[in-house]
Amino acid sequence: MSAATITATPAATDAHIPLRNHFRHTGALIRRNLLWIRQDPESMFDAVLFPVIFTLLFVYVFGGSIGKSLGGGQEAYVQYVIPGLLAMMGMNMSQGVGTGFNTDFNSGVMDRFRSLPIGRGSVLIAKIVVELMRMLAACVILMIVAVLVGFDITSWIGMLGAVGLATVFGSALMWVFITLGVTMKSAQSVQAMGFLVMMPLQFGSSIFAPTDSMPGWLQNFTEYNPLSSLADAARGMMVGGPVAHGLWVTLAWSVGLTAVMAPVAIHKFRTKN
């Protein structure tokens, strides 16, 4: 811009949006995101069916044989795998935020929002809030199914802690998916990308089976895989065992991811047009 463009309106001050209004906008947008779910209940399939299917699949298909190597049977494997699945829920459910934003940008809805006198942050926060609700719902459903297949919760406080930790890690991952959702062309590619990233992280971890029988290179990978730390910490909290190491590593990852990716995601989100 050249200096010549500064003419008319001498004090070109912009309107200020009061905090109350930000809250109202965010509330209205949360309502909108919840209506999405009501309108399209299939969008809750991941939150409802994943916990059920994965629990049944792993407990009844692999439970017997892996349980034997754990020195027990299927019951021993239930105790092992449920905290792992909790870690997996935290990661899986963080993906929806990316596809959701992608749809909004592509459908022109974001243009509508941006032409209104609201802060863009309201749109961002409303989506994150609803995705966190979905994540918590998935965790609750997992816990119900777990109890039904015979999971023995030894510590309720530990269980709350584990759900909390999975949520903290999941919300840190959300920044990665927001970045993907805002930068990638289509919701499908966001999903495909998420799948590509999450598959190896899930299976190359201590979520489903102990890592000591894996080849050395894979063990190295699992050791640095934050999902292993999260699964180990959740396991320690819920059924007993070491907690501290996994907890700190998971928290460090969460803080690190947020510190690096949140500014990137927010910048991409704010400047996209």
Partner 1 sequence: MGPGTVLGMTRIDKNPNGGNTAVTVRGLVKHYGETKALDGVDLDVREGTVMGVLGPNGAGKTTLVRILSTLLAPTAGEATVVGYDVLRQPRQLRKVIGLTGQYASVDEKLAGWENLYLIGRLLDLTRKDARSRADELLERFSLTEAARRPASTYSGGMRRRLDLAASMIGRPQVLFLDEPTTGLDPRTRNEVWAEVKSMVGEGVTVLLTTQYMEEAEQLASELTVVDRGKVIASGGIEELKSKVGGRALRIRPVDPLELRPLAGALDALGITGLATTTVDPETGTLLVPILSDEQLTAVVGAVTARGITIGSITTELPSLDEVFLSLTGHKASAPQDAVPTDTREEVAV
**Tokens linked to 159:** 């269980």
* Interface positions with partner 1 (CB under 8 A): 1-2, 5, 7-9, 12-17, 21, 24-25, 27-29, 31-32, 35-36, 39-40, 107-109, 111-118, 273
Six-digit token pair at 8?
């008319």
Which of 16, 185 has the CB closer to partner 1? 16
Nearer to partner 1, 20 or 217 (CB): 20
In the complex with partner 1, the residue whose CB is nearer, 12 or 244, is 12
CB of 9 to partner 1, least distance (A): 6
Length of the chain: 273
Which residue do the tokens 């999971």 mark? 151
We find the least distance from the C-beta atom of residue 193 to partner 1, in angstroms, to be 23
Report the residue number, 30 or 173, with the smaller CB distance to partner 1. Answer: 30
**3-class SS at 72?**
coil
Q: How far is the CB of 209 from partner 1 (least distance, A)?
A: 40
Looking at the Cβ atoms of 5 and 213, the one nearer to partner 1 is 5
| Distance linking the first and last C-alpha atoms of the chain | 20
List of E strands, 154-261? none
DSSP string, 55-120: HHHIIIIIHHHHHHHTTS-HHHHHHHHHHHHHHHHHHHTTSHHHHHHHHHHHTTHHHHHHTSSS-H
CB of 179 to partner 1, least distance (A): 21
Contact 133, 202 (CB under 8 A): no
For residue 260, the minimal CB distance to partner 1 (Å) is 27
Residue whose token pair is 């999941």:
170
Tell the smallest beta-carbon distance from residue 190 to partner 1 (Å). Answer: 18
Quickly tell me which residue has 């530990």 as its tokens: 158
The pair of three-digit structure tokens given for residue 234, joined into one six-digit string = 């959740």
Decide if 212 contacts 124 (C-beta within 8 A).
no
CB of residue 30 to partner 1, shortest distance in Å: 11
Q: Which is nearer to partner 1, 13 or 213 (CB)?
A: 13
Residue closer to partner 1, measured from CB, 7 or 213: 7
**How distant is the alpha carbon of residue 183 from its chain centre?**
18
Q: Please state the closest distance from residue 1 (CB atom) to partner 1, in A.
A: 7
What does the H/E/C string look like for 145-184? Answer: HHHHCCCCCCCHHHHHHHHHHHHHHHHHHHHHHHHHHHHC
Complex with partner 1: residue 183 or 219, whichever CB lies closer: 183
